[in-house]
Amino acid sequence: MIAQFFVLSQRGDNIVFRDYRGEVSKGSAEIFFRKVKFWKEDEEEEAPPVFNVDGVNYIHVKIAGLFFVTTTRVNVSPSLVLELLQRIARVTKDYLGVLNEDSLRKNFVLVYELLDEVIDFGYPQTTSTEVLKSYVFNEPIVIDSTRVPPLGPASMFMQGTKKMPGTAVTKSVIVTEPGGRKREEIFVDIIEKISVTFSSSGYILTSEIDGTIQMKSYLTGSPEIRLALNEDLSIGRNSSSVYDYRSSAGGAVILDDCNFHESVRLDSFDVDRTLSLIPPDGEFAAMNYRMTQEFKPPFRVSALIEEAGQLKAEAIIKIRADFAASVTANTIIVQMPVPTYTARISFELESGAVGQTADFKEGAKRLEWCLKKIVGGSEHTLCAKLTFSQESHGNIAREAGPINMNFTIPMYNASKLQVRYLHIAKKSPSYNPYRWVRYVTQSNSYVARL
């Protein structure tokens, strides 16, 4: 049971506010934003998703740069409310097409209509896009796709040799094309977030992939679809050779565990690794999976830091892209904490470096190396010269690091999970909807120790 729901911008502006029970003061949004912006407790830089102020529980998630927040005075399940906030954001995106401050402000009437159907007197009712169509009648004001921030090459969908920009998936599920017709198409995203920890000598200590097969359907008439995955896909680690690197080179994909959307039927999954389903309207995760089998990480990261005279040290960071030259990683950010007594840092980028910047974040005491893109097979090096305000009294490598790396790699997946085909049941001989597939790999926790 929740008392209030509100959405705040990054500046703290109140975009949406609904008070369901009148149990919490109207100034709760300002109290929440001040607490989050100036969080000082538990030596953490960011506020946790759940915290209490003066007897009021604040539960929030940050999505697309917006704070989705609920308040309550009762002891509710945090997991339930966090999942509710995620689903409210998802269904809002389904109806508006784009989830940002501009779209919420222009469609506030539709958003409040959705909220009144999703939550009644503080109790969740339904978050199904399909069910809500029967009760929500306002049409969205569509945001021009040219005003949507570009997502880069990672936003490209593929169908054979054809390409479709990622903005195609930002359409509302209830808006038709000009002329009253509806474009028949379905989008499939295989999104993987990888976590890797390297030792100081470059060996892999831990590795894990959290993946999801996400769909967004614009198909009419509820046709059945069949999604076929790798024939050699295995679920569960029942072999002693799972962690043998040579066994994974043979092409077999071994998942630790997985779960499926409620609409997925697994009648033939054990036989031919095919998922059958009638996709609901809007965006949904058809399958979530986890993999800890040893895989080839997309990047190798190594670093060395050593003293270079009195009150000075030198750090060298190397990145090697271990994927095909036809693949390009985007928006790479490498961060390394430095000793707290570091006064300044001078950087030496490699000769001919294009699209690279390096900076010393003095307040956070870390260096930050940004690369616009990295082509597969290439290697990049950064040399940083540190100047200290006092002498080091120990092993300098223990006072610096570890290195953390963030990146996005479009049309690449580390697990080798593939969509063999996507078959849609034909309603007529001329029925031929578009099928778009996109692979994206992102870093979740990519760490190298010094």
Q: In terms of Cα–Cα distance, which of 96, 121, 168 is closest to 20? A: 121
Residues whose CB is less than 8 angstroms from the CB of residue 294 and which lie 6 or more positions away in sequence, other chains included: 204, 207, 243, 244, 245, 248
pLDDT digits (tens, 9 = 90+) for 242-276: 333 334 444 688 899 999 999 999 988 988 999 99
Are 373 and 278 in contact by the 8 Å Cβ rule? The answer is no
Amino acid 398: pLDDT: 83
Instruction: Please tell me the distance from the alpha carbon of residue 11 to that of residue 38, in angstroms, as a whole number.
Output: 13
Confidence of residue 433 (pLDDT cuts 50, 70, 90): confident
So what's the pLDDT on residue 133?
86
Has residue 150 got a pLDDT over 70?
Answer: no
Mean pLDDT of 19-23: 91
Tell me what the pLDDT averaged over the chain comes to.
85
pTM of the model: 0.77
What's the maximum distance between 2 C-alpha atoms anywhere in the chain?
Answer: 79
For residue range 90-138, what is the model confidence (pLDDT) as tens digits? Answer: 999 989 988 999 999 999 999 999 999 999 999 999 998 888 988 988 8
370 vs 336: CA distance, rounded Å: 12
**Structural domains of the chain in order of their starting residue, each with its CATH number:** 4-133 (3.30.450.60), 203-296+418-436 (2.60.40.1170), 299-410 (2.60.40.1170)
pLDDT over threshold 60, residue 417: yes
3-state secondary structure 352-398: CCCCEEEEEECCCCEEEEEEEEEECCCEEEEEEEEEECCCCCCCHHH
Judged against a pLDDT cut of 80, whether residue 142 lies above it is answered with no
Residues whose CB is less than 8 angstroms from the CB of residue 57 and which lie 6 or more positions away in sequence, other chains included: 50, 51, 71, 72, 73, 74, 75, 76
Whether residue 239 is predicted with pLDDT greater than 50 in this model: the reply is: no
Proportion of the chain above pLDDT 90, given as a percent: 53
* Stretch 157-178: mean pLDDT: 58
**Residue range 290-322, pLDDT digits in tens:** 998 888 899 999 888 888 888 899 999 999 999
Q: How confident is the model at residue 448 (pLDDT cuts 50, 70, 90)?
A: confident
Residue 275 has a pLDDT of 94
pLDDT of residue 237: 65
Q: Report which of residues 44 and 339 the model is more confident about.
A: 339
pLDDT the model gives residue 434? 84
> Which of 206-210, 362-366, 400-404 reaches the highest mean pLDDT?
206-210
Does 419 have pLDDT greater than 80?
Answer: yes
pLDDT in tens, 361-398: 888 889 999 999 999 999 999 999 999 988 877 778 88
Sorted by sequence, the CB contacts under 8 Å of residue 211 that are 6+ apart come out as 190, 191, 192, 193, 288, 289, 290, 291, 413, 415, 417
**pLDDT per position as a tens digit, 82-96:** 999 999 999 999 899
The pLDDT assigned to 200 comes to 81
Question: Residue 169 corresponds to which tokens in the numbers above?
Answer: 């998936």
Reduced 3-state DSSP string for 215-258? EEECCCCCCCEEEEECCCEEECCCCCCCCCHHHHCCCCEEECEE
Q: CA 112: distance to chain centroid? A: 27
Other residues' Cβ atoms within 10 Å of the Cβ of residue 137: 9
The pLDDT of residue 180: 55
